[in-house]
């Protein structure tokens, strides 16, 4: 499987993989832990994200995972996809499909990923393009809530203690998930196009703007106590907006988010299969199908919200391991080898 990415394709790929399912769910735990300081905490975490990107950009050439490390990553991504799928399914069940059997909704979503992954590589890479016109609309409608924003909700600041700060940082780690794809796909970017420097900074700013604004919106729109009861604050903001033509914009956007998430899943599935094919020769079609069957089966074991939450909570620690520890080890080992 050989393919080349343009700079824009690469960053779009990364952005959609990082935002996907997460942007609906991470605000509530973050704000619950840190209160009005959430936006400050998140700004700080954003700097960490940028540092990580810079380190990745400097060292990606040395990142050559062997079969064992690849298998670990594959397991990790499987866990991510499964937790995403079960979260999507749970959310859809709450918002739209309480009666429809879980397996049907899951199979349909995984079916899309399967179809995309059986097509040529470019199809998966470009899948995110369909979201490009929709994301601005989504944002404009969020801004309709502007008159209802309570600016004093952002204060008082710096009232937070150490353990809450740690909880907040952990909660905001969900927005990092997918950053490791940078290491895997960076070498496919057209070498004529510059990535380091300004383009990387622009990407960081986009990422920051997207997540920070969603934190700000949730803080500004809801009172703190209320926010703790609402698992998907962004959807509630949309729900309370009335546009002349239709009521209930949230219903459109829950499905926009579903599309977004399905694409994120396809991207992760694509990455998993791509990494698998680096070491396994041939049988791409067969492996793709087997992998997707696993994706249908595993979420079925996560029947309740508790299971979904448990997986989600443990995901953060896996994530830290795979984003910081493993790349560091692999890069250092390869550097030494080169010397």
Residue 103 interacts with other proteins (CB under 8 A)?
no
Q: Are 113 and 266 in contact (CB under 8 A)?
A: yes
**Closest CB to other proteins among residues 229, 338:** 229
What does the alpha-carbon distance between residue 87 and residue 91 come to, in Å, rounded to a whole number? 6
Residue 78 interacts with other proteins (CB under 8 A)?
no
Residue 158 is classified by DSSP as: S
Residue whose structure tokens are 């997918």: 178
* Shortest CB 39 distance to other proteins, Å: 13
Query: Could you tell me which residues come within 8 angstroms of residue 131 by beta carbon, excluding any fewer than 6 positions away?
Result: 16, 259, 260, 263
Q: Which region, judged by CB under 8 A, interacts with other proteins, from 44-52, 116-124, 167-175, 207-215? A: 116-124
**Closest CB to other proteins among residues 92, 330:** 92
Residue 221 interacts with other proteins (CB under 8 A)?
yes
Residue whose structure tokens are 């396994």: 280
What does the alpha-carbon distance between residue 57 and residue 183 come to, in Å, rounded to a whole number? 8
What does the alpha-carbon distance between residue 234 and residue 218 come to, in Å, rounded to a whole number? 7
Distances (CA, A) of 30 to 35, 40, 157: 8, 11, 15
Binding to other proteins, residues 124-183 (CB under 8 A):
126-127, 129-130, 148, 150, 152-156
Backbone angles phi, psi at 169, to 5 degrees: -65, -40
Q: The tokens of 338 are what?
A: 């080169």
Binding to other proteins, residues 79-98 (CB under 8 A):
92, 94-98
**Closest CB to other proteins among residues 139, 149:** 149
**Closest CB to other proteins among residues 242, 310:** 242
Q: Which region, judged by CB under 8 A, interacts with other proteins, from 123-131, 196-204, 205-213, 317-325? A: 123-131
Element (H, E) at 15: helix 7-19
Q: The tokens of 73 are what?
A: 């990553």
Binding to other proteins, residues 280-299 (CB under 8 A):
284
What does the alpha-carbon distance between residue 133 and residue 256 come to, in Å, rounded to a whole number? 11
Residue 226 interacts with other proteins (CB under 8 A)?
yes
Q: Which region, judged by CB under 8 A, interacts with other proteins, from 70-78, 176-184, 242-250, 287-295? A: 242-250
Pick from 146, 255, 317, 321 the residue near other proteins by CB under 8 A. 255
Query: Site residues (CB under 8 A) for other proteins?
Result: 1-6, 8-9, 36, 92, 94-101, 105, 108-109, 112, 115-116, 119-123, 126-127, 129-130, 148, 150, 152-156, 190, 192, 221-226, 229-230, 236, 239-240, 242, 244-248, 250-252, 255-256, 258-259, 262-263, 284
């Amino acid at each position: 499987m050989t393919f080349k990415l343009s700079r824009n394709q690469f960053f779009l790929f990364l952005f959609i993989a990082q935002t996907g399912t997460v942007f609906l769910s991470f605000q509530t735990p973050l704000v619950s832990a840190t209160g009005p300081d959430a936006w400050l905490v998140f700004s700080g975490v954003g700097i960490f994200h940028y540092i990580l990107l810079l380190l990745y950009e400097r060292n990606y050439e040395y990142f050559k995972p062997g079969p064992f490390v690849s298998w670990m990553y594959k397991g990790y991504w499987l866990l991510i996809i499964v937790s995403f799928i079960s979260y999507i399914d749970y959310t859809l069940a709450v918002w739209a499909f309480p009666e429809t059997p879980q397996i049907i909704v899951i199979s349909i979503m995984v079916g899309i990923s399967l179809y995309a992954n059986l097509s040529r590589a470019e199809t998966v890479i470009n899948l995110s393009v369909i979201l490009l016109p929709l994301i601005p609309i989504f944002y404009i409608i969020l801004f309709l809530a502007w008159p209802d924003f309570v600016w004093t909700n952002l204060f008082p600041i710096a009232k937070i203690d150490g353990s809450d700060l740690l909880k907040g940082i952990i909660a905001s780690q969900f927005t990092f998930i997918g950053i490791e794809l940078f290491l895997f796909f960076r070498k496919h970017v057209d070498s004529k196009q510059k990535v380091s420097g300004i383009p990387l900074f622009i990407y960081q700013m986009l990422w920051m703007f997207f997540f920070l604004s969603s934190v700000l919106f949730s803080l500004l729109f809801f009172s703190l106590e209320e926010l703790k009861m609402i698992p998907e604050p962004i959807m509630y903001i949309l729900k309370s907006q009335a546009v002349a033509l239709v009521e209930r914009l949230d219903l459109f956007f829950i499905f926009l988010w579903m599309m977004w998430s399905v694409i994120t899943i396809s991207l992760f599935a694509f990455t998993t299969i791509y990494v698998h094919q680096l070491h396994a020769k041939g049988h791409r079609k067969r492996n793709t199908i087997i992998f997707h069957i696993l994706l249908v089966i595993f979420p079925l074991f996560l029947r309740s919200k508790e299971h979904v939450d448990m997986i989600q909570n443990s995901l953060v620690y896996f994530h830290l391991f795979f984003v910081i520890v493993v790349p560091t080890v692999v890069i250092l080992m390869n550097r030494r080898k080169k010397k």
